[in-house]
Structure 1
């Protein structure tokens, strides 16, 4: 089965193992490479590294094309909400842009990649919020006054 749905790959470990086991028992494959990297073979590359005996200690990259686009566009001249609407209209966001803005989409991608790298991780183990967001919020508020 080919799927771009991140919910299954980033579900609880129990649910994730049940899905994996069901495919293994039936001799079928669950191909979900489109969940991370906009279709680039990121999942398979991580899995190939692990299968060849490598250990992955860290992953870095831009895990949200949506957030990347929004921050690239934002210069203060266009309201951020208008940029979100533009991104949504262009099909750059999840169907509900709040999934992107909340960080849930990035969290799901990181859970999927961590599991491909051999780590047993639960979705709720991810970082909460953005480091330094409070200071950034205060700075933006001051600049708007």
Structure 2
């Protein structure tokens, strides 16, 4: 039986950050840079390009326009429950970000909806709610 591991040496760094918290915490590379390197491309500061799905009826006017926005995914899934932050830690982070001039946007699915509504009430952070996944057939 083969053990899971990186297919090439280019993937070794990303593989190790997934296995070991101390390696992940010491990692200073942006995710997009890691993916470029994993694929063997030179990273030159390229930025993400997001599909806004406006053609599918999404309304992004709810997002704050003041200061840089920072998305905070407040969930962790059923698999990583030991990594779930308490509401107090989220509130503290949100307030610190707001004081530093950032506009936090709370993200998550149905499982995080009640928590995000509570965090919005406690901090005034933006919470646009949940959205269905765009259909891959359209």
| Same fold flag (TM > 0.5) | no
TM-score using structure 1 length: 0.24
Structure with the larger helix share: 1
Structure with the larger strand share: 2
Structure having greater relative contact order (Cα 8 Å, sep ≥ 6) = 1
